[in-house]
Structure 1
Amino acid sequence: MDLRGFLKALARRWPTAVVCLVIGVGAACSATGLSTPVYEARTQLFVATRNSEDMVQLTQGQSFSQARVQSYASIVTTSQVTQPVVRALRLRTTPEELASRISAEAPLNTVLINISVRDTVPERAAAIANTVARRFTYVVEQLETPPSPTPPRQTDDRRPPPPVSPVSLGITEKAATPSAPVSPRPLLNLAVGVLGGLLVGAGLVILRETLDTTLKTSRALAEFSGLPGLGSIPYDKQAPKRPLVTTAGQHSPRAEAFRKLRTNLQFAQVDDRPRIIMVTSSVPGEGKTNTAANLALSLAEAGTSTCLVDCDLRRPCVAKTFGLVQDAGLTTVLIGQARVGDVIQQADDRLAVLASGPKPPNPTELLASTRMSELLHELASTYEVVITDTAPLLPVADTLGLAPLAQGTLLVVRASRTNRDQVRASVEALERVGSRVLGTVFSMAPAPKGADYDAYRGYGELPAPRVSAHLDESGAPAATTGEK
């Protein structure tokens, strides 16, 4: 994934990054609030040599001190130092635990030793540091003092002087009571929390993008499926309440998108234009019924006599979408209880709707029957275009039985919902039964930014009157028109 792809993925999944950032900041604040403050006291010692009357001895003593000072720093945390300190200050801890809170360093090319002590009580940290410095001075001088030689027998009472350590340690800076804790560090914790949250969020975005096999753009759909993309229908949150574009505004983005779909469909198959077009999808909820209904309306708006047939015999929605009668329709005709002219309903001057009728127990057999083929050809001889809304391909076998009867198929794919495996399975299933797939329709796609459809008002096609069907006194459907 390149930088551009990552930025697009981050823009799509920004809630994930924000949640991770909030969690990181919250964890940092919690760690800061729950941590016990720790104070650090520092003291410094200077290592010198004795008996340096002239410059030569002074230089030699300086080199000697620098050579030994690194070793002295390692003695600070030994039990010879910590155990007496614990007893002297009556600390409720062990020498080993106290050693873990003491650190010593000797800067290179110096004769200085810096001792640091950490404790939760600032006064106690200073007291421990000063006591450690004094005890450390005593231990080093004792270690550097040579052993007393056995004196030879003397004829007089004079005794040699006791041996003296060649090294002398002096405290150059006593530990003072610290005024502020060194831990926790709120700003550092906050920075770590922010950085950690961003890194985790970016990682999750990349992981989800890698594992997500849904199709995000119509171009990606066309490249993956190898089918022409005939239309991209933008998402409209008002679509469930107003599924038909004629009720949502003649120049809305959705209305223009369906006009573009109609135009692309008309020009895509100029030499062999299909008259029976099946609209289907891989799984439920992809907008196939909405696409079929509005495509039929758009064709009728352009002056093409169109018949919309509800072939989804399991979950029919066409009649409800147009506000028509559901009780009589396709199944009524297929079982011979009525003729097409008796149950077909007019939704517009050029748009007829054949509802599904009562739900049958054997929808697959009905749709694949010879009578269904005869009915479709009968409708195609009466209308210029017949649009069939069918059941989803993958859950049931109804559509695969109907597909060979149609002259072309439109596959509806929902943006960021239908995955690649579902699209592949649907295309392969249609190809196995010999269906002619005209192309894909990318539904519920993100609306293009900067598109101002209002700028084209007055240049498009004339708005069609809104039509609704009602029953007359005899029970037969009658069309009524009206502006709204």
Structure 2
Amino acid sequence: MFVAGYLKVVLKRWWCVAITVALAAGAAYIYCAAQTPRYATSLTFFVTTPNRGVSDAYQGNLFTQQRVKSYASLLVSDRLAAKIAADPRIGLDAKQVRARITAAPVPDTVLLRAVVTDVDQVRAERIAARVATDFKAMLESLETPAGSTDTPIKVEVISGPESQAGPVSPRPVRDIGGAVLVGLILGVALAIQLELLDSSVRDADHVQEITERSVIAHVPFDTSARREPLLVGEAGFSARAEALRGLRTNLQFLDVDNPPTAVVITSSLPGEGKSSTAANLGIVLAETGQRVLLIDGDLRRPSLAGYFDIEGAVGLTNVLAGQVSIDETVQQWNSSLWILPSGIIPPNPSELLGSRQMAELLAAARAKFDMVIIDSPPLLSVTDAAILATRTDGVVYVSRSGRTTTTQMSAAIKAIKAVDARLLGTVLNMEPRRQSSPYHYYQYATEAAAQPVPPTPEPALTGERHRSRSSAG
């Protein structure tokens, strides 16, 4: 993945970056607000040894550098802390004084730096002043040999005590800025990690690689589809409608010499839009004047009767059981579209769909209609779709962009191939809209809004709307 690819991932998953940055900045702000300001006073010691020549100076310098490392420990010793705590102005015990002092030698020098940090700036200055005098006296006392008045070590304060102008912690600008930077890095890393772990199918190239068939329709995501699932009225001029008309055209040109006249619409799992695709494909095919029969072959969770607002209590299962004929059961929805609902939900859907009666029903339907569309259950849930696929000209597989995974798609295609059925192509459903869409979705939507919307034709049913049935012949 190149830089452009990473940038694309970050832009696509910008919410990951935004959330991590917001959380990091919020945590830093809470931390800063909860902390008591602390102030620092620093001082620097110069440690040397008396010498009488160049050789003595060199050896003394090496000796002092080694000793300075030990003197840093003396600065935070209990002995020095106890001397400082004896001052009544300090108001702390030896342990508390020691916790406020830090010391470290300046590398490759004979300098020793000490810092006193306290919530009270005045007290920090007092402790630092005592460190300057008491440490010098304690060190020279320790280094003076017994019975001698000369000490081989000389300690001088060359800098400080010096207090910083403001608190050393917390520093809101520094702390929050650092947290934002960390959150940004973590957000980018999280976005890239999620992209690497995301196995969902999102583009046509990926679909074609798995299915070995082209994508025959890119159906854009439409927020109004839930309340207006059918392509009637204004919805008939939407980007979604244009995509389904593209599916209609592609089906007609898949095999010019022998175009499909009976197709199964299915998906991997529920919720990918197979039923709405089947219903709307029937509507756009009927627009061309073809006689279309739409069969609800999902005998487990039927939905077409609800989409078209028709009676679904009597339907396919009743015909297969020999209770009624197909001519008595199909319902005419408009001048070119007939619908055969599922009927009652049977205990043995797979056996019914694979029966001789189902084969005879499809043969009769092919003879009377130009196109037969069957909405079937998902492939990975039950075997119904695979059974129906063997009795038709092929399968239109519907996958939901960003939701159907490569594993699910591969398993569905494997189920189709296992029964030697023909995969006509894939519909990439609920695809995010992009300006680069081959259908120019936004242009279609704009032009459609400027055109007068024709009145929606009333369903041509005989008798009552919800209970009538008409002959398919």
TM tier, smaller: 0.7 to 0.9
Partner of residue 125, structure 2: 126
Give the counterpart letter for 1:136 in structure 2. F
1:468 equivalent to 2:459? Answer yes
For residues 275 and 314 of structure 1, the distance between their equivalents in structure 2, rounded to whole angstroms, comes to 25
Does the C-alpha gap of structure 1 residues 231 and 384 become closer, same or farther in structure 2, counting only changes over 3 Å? same
Superposition deviation, residue 198 in structure 1: 1.9
1:171 equivalent to 2:157? Answer yes
Superposition deviation, residue 85 in structure 1: 2.4
Partner of residue 38, structure 2: 38
Partner of residue 240, structure 2: 254
Partner of residue 73, structure 2: 77
Does the C-alpha gap of structure 1 residues 463 and 260 become closer, same or farther in structure 2, counting only changes over 3 Å? farther
After superposition, residues 18-417 of structure 1 pair within 5 angstroms as 18-47=18-47, 66-67=61-62, 69-70=64-65, 71-72=67-68, 74-78=70-74, 79=77, 80-88=79-87, 92-94=92-94, 98=98, 101-106=101-106, 108=108, 112-148=111-147, 163-165=149-151, 167-176=153-162, 178-417=164-403
Q: Deviations over 1:46-88 (max 9, x none)?
A: 55677x9xxxx59788767754553246314323533422334
**Higher-Rg member (1/2):** 1
TM-score, normalised to structure 2, is: 0.87
Partner of residue 453, structure 1: 444
For residues 197 and 48 of structure 1, the distance between their equivalents in structure 2, rounded to whole angstroms, comes to 48
For residues 383 and 46 of structure 2, the distance between their equivalents in structure 1, rounded to whole angstroms, comes to 91
Does the C-alpha gap of structure 1 residues 190 and 415 become closer, same or farther in structure 2, counting only changes over 3 Å? same
For residues 74 and 38 of structure 1, the distance between their equivalents in structure 2, rounded to whole angstroms, comes to 28
Q: Note if contact 2:47-2:64 (Cα within 8 Å) is conserved in structure 1.
A: yes
Which ranges in structure 1 are unaligned for 5 or more consecutive residues?
A: 149-161, 480-484
Q: Deviations over 1:319-357 (max 9, x none)?
A: 221122212221222122222222211122221111112
For residues 434 and 366 of structure 1, the distance between their equivalents in structure 2, rounded to whole angstroms, comes to 20
Superposition deviation, residue 115 in structure 1: 2.6
Superposition deviation, residue 45 in structure 1: 3.8
For residues 302 and 227 of structure 2, the distance between their equivalents in structure 1, rounded to whole angstroms, comes to 17
Q: Note if contact 1:82-1:99 (Cα within 8 Å) is conserved in structure 2.
A: no
Secondary structure of the structure 1 residue equivalent to 2:459: strand
Which ranges in structure 2 are unaligned for 5 or more consecutive residues?
A: none
Q: Note if contact 2:386-2:416 (Cα within 8 Å) is conserved in structure 1.
A: yes
Does the C-alpha gap of structure 1 residues 446 and 380 become closer, same or farther in structure 2, counting only changes over 3 Å? same
Does the C-alpha gap of structure 1 residues 348 and 371 become closer, same or farther in structure 2, counting only changes over 3 Å? same
Give the counterpart letter for 2:457 in structure 1. R
For residues 65 and 247 of structure 1, the distance between their equivalents in structure 2, rounded to whole angstroms, comes to 98
For residues 348 and 427 of structure 2, the distance between their equivalents in structure 1, rounded to whole angstroms, comes to 29
Q: Note if contact 2:222-2:430 (Cα within 8 Å) is conserved in structure 1.
A: yes
Partner of residue 152, structure 1: none
Q: Note if contact 1:76-1:136 (Cα within 8 Å) is conserved in structure 2.
A: no
Q: Note if contact 2:41-2:164 (Cα within 8 Å) is conserved in structure 1.
A: yes
Give the counterpart letter for 1:291 in structure 2. T
Identify which range, 363-372 or 191-200, moves more after superposition.
191-200
Give the counterpart letter for 1:42 in structure 2. S
Does the C-alpha gap of structure 1 residues 88 and 210 become closer, same or farther in structure 2, counting only changes over 3 Å? same
Identify which range, 4-13 or 336-345, moves more after superposition.
4-13
For residues 184 and 100 of structure 1, the distance between their equivalents in structure 2, rounded to whole angstroms, comes to 16
Secondary structure of the structure 1 residue equivalent to 2:312: coil
Give the counterpart letter for 1:137 in structure 2. K
Secondary structure of the structure 2 residue equivalent to 1:377: helix
TM-score, normalised to structure 1, is: 0.85
Aligned residues: 459
For residues 385 and 463 of structure 1, the distance between their equivalents in structure 2, rounded to whole angstroms, comes to 25
Superposition deviation, residue 195 in structure 1: 1.9
Secondary structure of the structure 2 residue equivalent to 1:245: coil
Give the counterpart letter for 1:299 in structure 2. L
Superposition deviation, residue 8 in structure 1: 3.3
For residues 425 and 163 of structure 2, the distance between their equivalents in structure 1, rounded to whole angstroms, comes to 79
For residues 222 and 387 of structure 1, the distance between their equivalents in structure 2, rounded to whole angstroms, comes to 23
Does the C-alpha gap of structure 1 residues 307 and 175 become closer, same or farther in structure 2, counting only changes over 3 Å? same
- Work out the percentage of aligned pairs sharing the same amino acid: 34
